[in-house]
């Protein structure tokens, strides 16, 4: 009994000594890593606030820090983030350069990162009108991200629907959009839900189902407004303007186009501004 008490006291004293002891000294690598993670966190907060310019600067710093101690995982993550922010800013060339770090040496990076990089590359190619390249990169992304474990399935399906629509296969696009909608709801991703609705709406508009298209696009706009995502709101408004223009409602089309221009100006997205202004000129 006495021995047990002494042992408990010793353990307690050791515990107190351990708790009160100075933390182990950090190595330079650990200090750099902490610095890099801090930059990454700040950049993510800037993205959440819609301050994409600041986010890009912070991701550049984080990428530089990761490259300084050659942490490939961190290099891959920050490269993808930087590419996504550049793409959202309407700067595809900068986005491609950021993605090259991963796609030029995929063996150094994890499969999921490479698959996401391929998906981003497909999106860039799609926006550039290079549908074959988009198809290839999308196929590569899908191959690198098998469904049960892949958490970007809904986004890849949205891209697949976009590609089909770009190829003029509106029916196929609506099928892919329906799958994307189901996947997004399964993943619980409201962003991809709105994306799927938008593609579905555009496909319905391409099929001539303008009323249905306006409804779908209105739903997408409502979600994006709830998420307060300026770039997506701009896309929804442009799609609505195009649909109204197709069914001859020039006033409504002009109104949507003007709203899209205002939003894109506020967000600082030059590519979207050009799209909105072109649409506005068309319906004027």
Partner 1 sequence: MKLATEMGQGARDITLASRIFLGVGVVSLVAAVLLLAYHQGAFTKYIHVFFNAETADGLNKGMAVKLVGFKVGSVENISIGSDLGVRVEVKIDAQYAPMLGADSSVRLVREAIIGSNALEIRPGTAQLGPVLEYAFLRYEREPSVENAVVALLDQIAPIVGDIRQITAYLNAPDSDLRQAIHSVNRTASALEKTSVELRKLVATTAEGVERGSTQVSGVLGSADKLLRDAGTSLAVLDSSARKVDAALPGITSKIDQTLDNLRAASEAARAMMAGDLSSVIGEAGALVSDTGEVVRGARRSWPVSGFVQPPRESLLRLDGASGATANPSDGARGR
Which residues would be at the binding site for partner 1 (CB under 8 A)? 18-19, 21-24, 26, 33-34, 36-38, 40-41, 44, 47-48, 52, 55, 62, 66, 73-74, 77-78, 80-81, 84-85, 87-88, 110, 112-113, 116, 119-120, 123-124, 126-127, 151-152, 154-159, 162, 180, 189, 191-192, 194-196, 198-199, 229, 231-232, 235
Report the residue number, 223 or 254, with the smaller CB distance to partner 1.
223
What token pair was written down for 211? 């009323």
What is the C-alpha to C-alpha distance for residues 228 and 271, in angstroms, rounded to an integer? 19
Report the residue number, 187 or 249, with the smaller CB distance to partner 1.
187
Report the residue number, 201 or 254, with the smaller CB distance to partner 1.
201
How far apart are CB 141 and partner 1 at their closest, in Å?
8
How far apart are CB 257 and partner 1 at their closest, in Å?
19
Task: Collect contacts of 237-242 with beta carbons under 8 A, ≥24 apart.
Answer: 237/263, 237/276, 238/272, 238/275, 238/276, 238/279, 239/198, 239/201, 239/202, 239/205, 239/213, 240/214, 241/276, 241/279, 241/283, 242/202, 242/205, 242/279
How far apart are CB 215 and partner 1 at their closest, in Å?
19
Among residues 145, 187, 179, which one has the least CA distance to residue 162?
179
How far apart are CB 253 and partner 1 at their closest, in Å?
21
Report the residue number, 75 or 283, with the smaller CB distance to partner 1.
75
Report the residue number, 159 or 254, with the smaller CB distance to partner 1.
159
Please spell the DSSP secondary structure of 238-256, one letter per residue: HHHHHHHHHTT-HHHHHHH
How far apart are CB 127 and partner 1 at their closest, in Å?
6
How far apart are CB 16 and partner 1 at their closest, in Å?
12
Report the residue number, 66 or 254, with the smaller CB distance to partner 1.
66
């Amino acid at each position: 009994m006495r021995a047990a008490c002494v042992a408990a006291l010793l353990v307690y004293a050791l515990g107190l000594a351990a708790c009160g002891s100075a933390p182990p000294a950090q190595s330079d690598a650990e200090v750099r890593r902490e610095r890099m993670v801090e930059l990454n966190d700040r950049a993510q907060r800037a993205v959440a606030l819609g301050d994409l310019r600041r986010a890009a600067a912070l991701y550049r710093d984080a990428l530089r820090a990761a490259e300084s101690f050659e942490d490939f995982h961190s290099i891959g993550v920050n490269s993808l983030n930087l590419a996504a922010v550049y793409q959202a800013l309407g700067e595809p060339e900068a986005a491609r350069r950021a993605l090259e770090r991963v796609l030029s040496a995929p063996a150094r990076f994890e499969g999921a990162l490479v698959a996401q990089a391929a998906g981003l590359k497909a999106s860039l190619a799609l926006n550039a009108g290079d549908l074959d390249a988009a198809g290839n990169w999308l196929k590569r992304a899908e191959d690198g991200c098998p469904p049960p474990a892949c958490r970007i399935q809904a986004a890849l399906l949205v891209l697949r629907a976009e590609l089909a629509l770009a190829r003029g296969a509106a029916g196929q696009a609506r099928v892919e959009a329906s799958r994307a909608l189901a996947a997004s709801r399964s993943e619980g991703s409201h962003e991809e839900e709105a994306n799927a609705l938008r593609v579905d709406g555009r496909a319905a508009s391409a099929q001539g189902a303008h009323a249905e298209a306006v409804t779908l696009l209105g739903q997408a706009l409502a979600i994006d407004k709830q998420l307060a995502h300026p770039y997506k709101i701009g896309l929804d408004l442009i799609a609505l303007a195009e649909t109204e223009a197709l069914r001859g409602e020039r006033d409504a089309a002009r109104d949507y186009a003007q709203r899209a221009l205002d939003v894109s100006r506020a967000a600082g997205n030059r590519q979207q501004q050009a799209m909105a202004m072109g649409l506005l000129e068309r319906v004027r």
